[in-house]
């Protein structure tokens, strides 16, 4: 349909636009659209805990402490903290922070937030991350004291995930209503939640810290990765989460966007259960470790952004050591070890549908190449999680899995997996228990490091697991977006900038 006025209007618009561009060099971005995979499960930060939820609610709420882009723990609502005794830590609470309803954030709100999440009645899935905290008390106009059941060195690392909720609002409206209309103190305010479609936030212009760069932020649910990519290419989304390396490569090649990525603290590993045949024979565990070409997997299959790793912690964790590389890829040694044991050991690789099956197939092939009779047992995710939570005796002989404590501390990464008596563990060893318990019960960082060195050395020599690789998080972004993704997979809007 040709409209006679159209060319004239277009010309006028162009002239106006160029005038605007000339006078205002950096055009502000008003509406920022983020494509998530699913909609948030909840916006109550003390309930569900999954990336699609905390991508959103970490912008609505402030946490007690946070990590900067370099990964250091830095003040947020707490301005400083002091260890009073092995079991008591005092936090100084920031002055002049207001919630979105205008009320002041007080130490009572902080104490309430802690006591709420550890209350069994809330049944928060996050409860276990804070279970060393016995209680929290507001002890002064600016201070809160946390009482612990024992010395707990990973306390701050866990408190990075503790969002502060307003006591008076939660108590007045109840948990269900709070979840539907959350009120926080963060750089963005909750505006609306169109179920299944999008959550909209607006900028909190009264924010105490760095304000957000966008007036409005829309978090949409776009389950298909190819669609998220198309949205960025078409300009209908400015940022998309969870792309694989192929899609991110397409985006970069199209010139319609760019890829941003970071190594996360999530790592993939192979569990070789030392209590069950055939891996009760250490030589076969060594053979399996030598058989796997981690570099081949990350470069050949995953696109080269994931990073092979030799420990069960990543460089993003406290307790990682540069000089513990793990066993190298050496198929000849692996073959020799299998031949020494004799026969073709039959192994079944248990795996869940959340794991990249191309990697599992590569592992199967590599095990077969050195003389194992390897097969794959693929089950759905809940069944798999149940399977590997049976402890050492009940768990499968061989499994491929992924893990992240989202705490960047060796305690979270290693304790549940390698201490006897835990559902996830496959190791029952008194020395390991002693080291892990000691490292958990002292605030002396050097002593903790010495303990974790022993733990990681034990893992590298006894090989109950083969650490495979540190996984990467890849985002697709509009070109003007300036942002550094962090290993703990957060999306802090007020750490982004926009420049054409």
Partner 1 sequence: MTAFLLRRLGQALLTIFGVATLIFFLQRLTGDPTYLLVPDTATQADIDALRHALGFDRPLWVQYLSFLGEIARFDLGKSVVQTIPVADIIASRLPYTLALAAGALLVACGLGIPVGVALALGRDRWIARILAGLVLAAQSMPTFWSGILMILVFAVTLGWLPPSSTGGIDHLVMPSVALGLLSMATFARVTRTALLEELSKDYVRTARARGAATGRLLLRHLARNASIPVITVAGLEISNLLAGAVIVETVFAWPGLGQLTVQSILARDFPIVQGVVLLGSFVTVALNLLTDLLYSAVDPRIRLGSAR
Q: Which residues contact partner 1 by CB under 8 A? A: 35, 38, 41-42, 47-49, 120, 123, 125-129, 131, 176, 179-180, 194-198, 220-224, 226-227, 230-231, 233-234, 236, 256, 380-383, 385-386, 389, 402-406, 412-413, 415-416, 422-424
- Cβ proximity to partner 1: between 62 and 265 the closer is 265
Structure tokens at 125: 């899935």
Q: Which residue has the tokens 């966007």?
A: 257
What are the two backbone dihedrals, phi and then psi, of residue 447, each rounded to the nearest 5 degrees?
A: -65, -40
Say whether the peptide bond before residue 278 is cis (omega within 30 degrees of 0): yes
What DSSP element (H or E) covers 452?
Answer: helix 445-462
How do strand 346-352 and strand 78-85 relate by DSSP bridges? unpaired
Strands (E), 226-345: 239-240, 258-272, 307-308
**Minimum CB distance to partner 1, residue 383 (Å):** 5
Torsion of CA 135, 138, 142, 143, to 10 degrees: -40
**Minimum CB distance to partner 1, residue 343 (Å):** 35
d(C-alpha 336, C-alpha 342), whole Å: 10
∠ CA 212-216-221, rounded to 5°: 110
- Cβ proximity to partner 1: between 64 and 118 the closer is 118
Return the sign of the alpha-carbon dihedral for residues 280, 281, 284, 288.
positive
**Minimum CB distance to partner 1, residue 302 (Å):** 20
- Cβ proximity to partner 1: between 146 and 413 the closer is 413
**Minimum CB distance to partner 1, residue 459 (Å):** 17
d(C-alpha 178, C-alpha 20), whole Å: 43
Q: Are 106 and 165 in contact (CB under 8 A)?
A: no
- Cβ proximity to partner 1: between 37 and 368 the closer is 37
**Minimum CB distance to partner 1, residue 229 (Å):** 9
Residue 147 forms beta bridges with which residues? Answer: 88, 135
**Minimum CB distance to partner 1, residue 337 (Å):** 31
**Minimum CB distance to partner 1, residue 209 (Å):** 27
- Cβ proximity to partner 1: between 316 and 362 the closer is 316
- Cβ proximity to partner 1: between 90 and 244 the closer is 244
d(C-alpha 334, C-alpha 40), whole Å: 46
∠ CA 463-465-466, rounded to 5°: 90
- Cβ proximity to partner 1: between 120 and 342 the closer is 120
Number of H helices, E strands in the chain: 16, 19
d(C-alpha 410, C-alpha 413), whole Å: 5
Q: Which residues contact 135 (CB under 8 A, 6 or more apart)?
A: 114, 115, 118, 146, 147
**Minimum CB distance to partner 1, residue 392 (Å):** 14
- Cβ proximity to partner 1: between 222 and 287 the closer is 222
**Minimum CB distance to partner 1, residue 55 (Å):** 16
- Cβ proximity to partner 1: between 144 and 309 the closer is 309
Say how far residue 206 (Cα) sits from the centre of its chain: 29
**Minimum CB distance to partner 1, residue 13 (Å):** 17
Q: Are 117 and 128 in contact (CB under 8 A)?
A: no
- Cβ proximity to partner 1: between 152 and 290 the closer is 152
């Amino acid at each position: 349909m040709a409209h006679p006025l159209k060319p004239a209007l277009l010309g006028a618009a162009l002239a106006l636009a160029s005038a605007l561009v000339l006078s205002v060099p950096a055009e502000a971005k008003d509406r920022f659209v983020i494509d998530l995979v699913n909609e948030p499960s909840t916006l109550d930060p003390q309930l569900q805990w999954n990336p699609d939820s905390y991508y959103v609610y970490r912008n609505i709420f402030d946490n007690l402490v946070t990590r900067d882009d370099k990964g250091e723990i830095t003040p947020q609502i707490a301005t400083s903290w002091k260890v009073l005794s092995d079991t008591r830590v005092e936090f100084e609470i920031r002055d002049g922070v207001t919630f979105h309803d205008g009320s002041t954030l007080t130490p009572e709100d902080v104490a309430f937030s802690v006591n709420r999440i550890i209350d069994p009645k809330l049944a928060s899935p996050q409860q276990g991350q804070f279970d060393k905290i016995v209680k929290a008390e507001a002890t002064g106009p600016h201070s809160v004291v946390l009482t612990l059941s024992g010395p707990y060195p990973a306390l701050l690392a866990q408190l990075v995930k503790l969002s502060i909720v307003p006591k008076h609002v939660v108590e007045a409206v109840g948990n269900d209503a709070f979840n539907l209309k959350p009120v926080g103190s963060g750089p963005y305010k909750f505006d609306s939640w169109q179920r299944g479609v999008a959550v909209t936030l607006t900028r909190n212009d009264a924010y105490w810290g760095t304000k957000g760069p966008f007036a409005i932020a829309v978090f949409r649910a776009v389950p298909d990765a190819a669609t998220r990519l198309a949205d960025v290419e078409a300009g209908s989304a400015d940022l998309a989460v969870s792309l694989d390396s192929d899609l991110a490569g397409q985006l970069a090649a199209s010139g319609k966007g760019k890829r941003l990525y970071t190594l996360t603290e999530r790592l993939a590993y192979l569990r070789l259960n030392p209590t069950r045949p055939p891996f009760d024979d250490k030589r076969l565990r060594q053979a399996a470790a030598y058989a796997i070409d981690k570099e081949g997997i990350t470069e050949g299959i995953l696109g080269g952004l994931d990073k092979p790793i030799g420990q069960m912690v990543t460089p993003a964790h406290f307790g990682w050591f540069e000089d513990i590389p793990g066993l190298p890829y050496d198929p000849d040694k692996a073959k020799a070890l299998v031949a020494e044991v004799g026969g073709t050991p039959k192994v079944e690789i248990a795996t869940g549908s959340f794991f990249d099956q191309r990697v599992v197939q590569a592992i199967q092939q590599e095990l077969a190449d050195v003389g194992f009779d390897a097969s794959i047992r693929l089950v759905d995710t809940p069944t798999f999680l149940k399977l590997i939570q049976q402890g050492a005796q009940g768990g499968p002989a061989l499994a491929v899995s992924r893990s992240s404590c989202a705490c960047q501390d060796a305690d979270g990464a290693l304790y549940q997996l390698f201490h006897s008596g835990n559902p996830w563990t496959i190791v029952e060893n008194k020395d390991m228990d002693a080291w892990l318990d000691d490292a958990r019960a002292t605030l002396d960082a050097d002593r903790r490091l010495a303990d974790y060195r022993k733990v990681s050395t034990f893992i590298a020599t006894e090989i109950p697991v083969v650490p495979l690789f540190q996984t990467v998080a890849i985002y697709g972004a509009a070109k003007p977006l300036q942002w550094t993704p962090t290993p703990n997979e957060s999306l802090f809007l007020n750490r982004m900038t926009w420049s054409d």
